[in-house]
Amino acid sequence: MKIIIHYDGVSDVDALMYVKQVVSKGRISNDGKQYCYCTLFNNDAEVYADRTATGTDTFYVVRKLGPDADEKE
């Protein structure tokens, strides 16, 4: 099994922490075959999960900063 993480707008450590939280909830999408398709966090971070036919889990972690958000990481 392989896990791939793509991320933008978050640090390496934060990307791992977000993915860890999604993985800890288990495979709850697609009748228990995939991790949650989309997880939203309170600080505007979002994690999208996909699973390929070969069994690779890919996560996309993004943090969308709005006009009033603190730009510092």
pLDDT at 66: 63
pLDDT at 38: 97
- The domains of the chain, with CATH numbers, are 2-63 (3.30.720)
Residues in contact with 61: Cβ distance below 8 Å, sequence separation at least 6, in sequence order: 5, 6, 7, 8, 10, 14, 15, 18, 19, 45, 46, 47
- Beta strands across the sheet bearing 56-63: 2-8, 56-63, 45-51, 38-40
pLDDT at 73: 43
pLDDT at 72: 47
State how far the Cα of 34 lies from the Cα of 32, in Å rounded to an integer.
Answer: 6
Where the chain has pLDDT below 50, the residues are 71-73
pLDDT at 11: 95
